[in-house]
A = this chain, B = another copy of it.
Amino acid sequence: MTEQQEDLATNPGADQRSLDGVDLWWRAANYLSAGQIYLRDNPLLRRPLEPEDVKARLLGHWGTTPGLNFVYAHLNRVIAETGQDMLFVTGPGHGGPANIANAWLEGTYSEVYTHIGADEAGLRELFKQFSYPGGVPSHAAPETPGSINEGGELGYSLAHAYGAVFDHPELVAACVIGDGEAETAALAGSWHSSSFLNPVVDGAVLPILHLNGYKIANPTVLARMPQEQLAALLTGYGYEPHFVTVADPRETMRAHEEFAHALESCLAGIRSIQDEARAAGTGAPAGESAPRWPMIVLRSPKGWTGPELVDGKPVEGTWRAHQVPLSEVRTNPGHLEQLQQWLRSYRPEELFDGGGRLRAEIAALAPRGDKRMSATPYANGGRLLRDLVLPAYGDYAVVVNDPGTERVSPMANLGGWLREVIRLNPHNFRLFGPDETASNRLQDVYEATDKVWQQRIEDVDEHLARAGRVMEVLSENLCQGWLEGYLLTGRHGVFNCYEAFVHIVDSMFNQHAKWLEVHRELPWRQPVASLNYLLSSHVWQQDHNGFSHQDPGFIDHVLNKKPEVVRVYLPPDANTLLAVTEHCLASRDYVNVIVCGKQPSLAWLGPEAARNHAERGIGVWDFAGSERPGEEPDVVLACAGDVPTTEAVAAAGILRRQLPQLKVRLVNVVDLMRLQDAKEHPHGLEHRDFDRLFTTDKPIIFAHHGYPWLIHRLTYRRTNHGNLHVRGFIEEGTTTTPFDMAMMNRIDRFQLAIDVIDRVPSLGSAHTGLRQRLQDLRMRARRHTREHGEDPEEVAGWRL
């Protein structure tokens, strides 16, 4: 603070004329913001305000808006002067009026929404649609030009901002963080992102912590802690805070001067860190710590420039300004009059011409074209998207001479292919993971790249460097947030994660899927790369971790979102995993979930067969079944997921040997959505195709990777659903071997064979002997495992 004040004395900062412009812009934006919250007509106050001019239900949010407008106006001044590429990330919830107001002032709003023109009629529409049935929400959203961050669920702004600037060295993301939002876990964990930002290859984030003191109904922790504690906290997070405190809300020009100065200092600080690092070329020497990046703390009154007192109670500067400061405007003439005075205080006649067009001298303050933050291609990443160069599938697929005879780790094999993806796309792809990339067996990527790290590097560290393509931090939230920011600004990536713990980002997934659902319907938003989850260390392979690590429910969660945006794949072996991943990395606007094991497991399909199978998503495995050409099978053994597939094929083998007369069909499912009706999901099978695969009247025993009811949910409309019997994870877990896990959940080969015996009517009771032997084998295997600490050797290729 003291330092800054000294600085201010020696460097008077922005000249008065340009700050007058900032103030004018701010005034216009504030007017448009208040107008959106209140007015359905009379947008220029050409006549005295009548109750009918006001919306029937007042549902917008004023509190955070003027502060956002203030920051936006200042950023615009800098952009206009310097041509800096800048992205505006709106962290505070319900700051939507600000983003919309500024986008309209910059002309962008009318460009992308032509029915909302740059004139009085347009203004009327702009106001009316806000927080109005069928209109736009009161927070930044996909519909908001210039936004990559939804302001509904709080906490992700800073992670998004960092994701946005990775590999965009020319970009500065100005990230306004609300002090309510700052209390969320996700935001609190995001500050450390600067330990992963490389000043040479990445751009910069300028965090602007906006302390307006209150959330919905309470003060905020960051605003109320002592100033020196806050300074320590931000220093501890790795930043150099510049404080701008608006002590007197009426002294706006003083606030402008201080903020302009802080902003200039911060941008100079950023430039200086970047220049130094870029001159050196590769980043700081190993022994050094991460640079201390500048940031701003703006302490300004909630609802600044709005009503100071309402009905005798303080509003401006308090939690009462959070939503609508005047709530009875339609029924209380005093409130109506106060609203009119408030709106008139922005002097709309000075802002707009007779036709409701923004006066030219204000419009001239905006940056031009793509430099406008509301029009920047960085916030419409599809405009910047370049296809990934993908290595040839054939070079990485494994040869399979005989199905189910050799073991390959699907994830390790994929690691080799991903290594080449990284080599071929040096600035366009990153791999994200919570300290699990090697644990998930993708370590081959380290032949081509390193893990990014800006803190001290020691001799003992491996694959750790200033620059690299792998982002590892022990925070699923941060991985997800970074990747979202990276994708929405036009790049590609994969998030590899333990299956059980990806639930940590359930809610972030929800919000990203919802973002995509809306984004796809906006013609002006260009397609972006899909968000790819690669989930391993899954429910069946948690030998030492046990029950807390066993949860396959993420796919259930994902499938609640719109079929247009979600895809779930369960590749059964190394080559199908490769084929599926290749497909996902080339796709757009989806969330793809791939679940596959990391342990060496049986390879079933050769390169060609695997690719065809992955493309079809479902198919009969003749090599595993015992059908006879032209005859219907007696039973269908279906499977989805690598471990269930191994068990189902083994069960089919047992049946083939023991009951050679029985005709077993084995159906493997890679693409779960194939099970759904074609009317429900674009990948769904037509009923006749489903019936052809699963028959209309034979028993189906289905071994599923996850919770069994998911399969019922996907198939309840199918003809043969009544004969479907699903085995899956029934929440029976502990610390044990994969095969013992299968037995605990009754999805093992013996149980599946027993299920077939129990359900094929033609077998009658002639096979109780075989049934008993299978039961005995189960018991023997369980006992052996628990006594010897490993499965009996025969498990791999059990013969009866």
Shortest Cβ distance from residue A479 to the other chain B in the assembled complex, whole angstroms: 10
Taking CB atoms, residues of chain B closer than 8 Å to A786 are 132-134
Taking CB atoms, residues of chain B closer than 8 Å to A151 are 548
207-221 of chain A: CB within 8 A of chain B: 215-221
Taking CB atoms, residues of chain B closer than 8 Å to A517 are 547, 731
Contact indicator B221/A455 (Cβ below 8 Å): yes
User: Within the assembled complex, what's the spacing in Å between the Cα atoms of A652 and B154?
Assistant: 41
Shortest Cβ distance from residue A560 to the other chain B in the assembled complex, whole angstroms: 5
Binary interface profile of A, 267-310, with partner B (CB < 8 Å = 1, else 0)? 00000000000000000000001100000000000000000000
Closest B residue to A744 by beta carbon equals B134
Contact indicator B790/A57 (Cβ below 8 Å): yes
Closest B residue to A501 by beta carbon equals B153
A527 at the interface (CB under 8 A from B): no
User: Within the assembled complex, what's the spacing in Å between the Cα atoms of A234 and B740?
Assistant: 45
A544 touches which of B60, B436, B453 (Cβ 8 Å): B60
A473 touches which of B183, B192, B231 (Cβ 8 Å): B183
Would A57 and B716 be within 8 Å (CB), given that A181-B474, A217-B435, A229-B238 are in contact? Answer: no
Would A215 and B544 be within 8 Å (CB), given that A184-B475, A556-B556 are in contact? Answer: no
A68 at the interface (CB under 8 A from B): no
Binary interface profile of A, 718-755, with partner B (CB < 8 Å = 1, else 0)? 00010000000001001111001000000000000000
A87 at the interface (CB under 8 A from B): no
Contact indicator A477/B735 (Cβ below 8 Å): no
Shortest Cβ distance from residue A533 to the other chain B in the assembled complex, whole angstroms: 14
Contact indicator A548/B152 (Cβ below 8 Å): yes
Contact indicator B455/A219 (Cβ below 8 Å): yes
A136 at the interface (CB under 8 A from B): yes
Contact indicator A543/B57 (Cβ below 8 Å): yes
Stretch binding the partner chain, chosen from A408-416, A575-583, A707-715, A769-777: A707-715
Binary interface profile of A, 461-489, with partner B (CB < 8 Å = 1, else 0)? 10010000000111111100000000000
Closest B residue to A724 by beta carbon equals B716
Would A183 and B474 be within 8 Å (CB), given that A548-B153, A556-B556, A713-B709 are in contact? Answer: yes
Would A507 and B504 be within 8 Å (CB), given that A189-B184, A731-B560 are in contact? Answer: yes
187-246 of chain A: CB within 8 A of chain B: 187-192, 195, 215-221, 224-226, 229-238
Q: Which residues of A contact B (CB under 8 A)?
A: 40, 55-57, 59-61, 128, 131-139, 141, 150-154, 180-181, 183-192, 195, 215-221, 224-226, 229-238, 289-290, 314, 318-319, 435-439, 451, 453, 455-456, 458, 460-461, 464, 472-478, 500-501, 503-504, 506-507, 510-511, 514, 517-518, 543-549, 551, 553, 556-557, 560-562, 707, 709, 712-713, 716, 721, 731, 734-737, 740, 785-786, 788-790
Q: Could you list some 22 contacts between A and B, CB below 8 A?
A: A56-B790, A57-B544, A131-B543, A133-B734, A133-B736, A135-B734, A138-B544, A180-B474, A216-B436, A217-B435, A218-B464, A219-B458, A219-B461, A224-B455, A225-B290, A229-B235, A231-B236, A232-B233, A318-B460, A319-B460, A506-B507, A712-B716
Known interface pairs A224-B289, A225-B290, A235-B236; 18 further A-B residue pairs with C-beta atoms within 8 A, sorted by A's residue number: A57-B790, A132-B789, A137-B544, A181-B474, A183-B473, A215-B435, A216-B439, A218-B464, A230-B236, A233-B237, A236-B237, A514-B548, A514-B551, A556-B556, A556-B560, A557-B557, A709-B713, A712-B712
- Nearest first, the 9 closest Cβ-Cβ pairs linking A and B are A233-B236, A152-B548, A59-B544, A137-B546, A185-B189, A503-B507, A232-B236, A224-B455, A188-B189
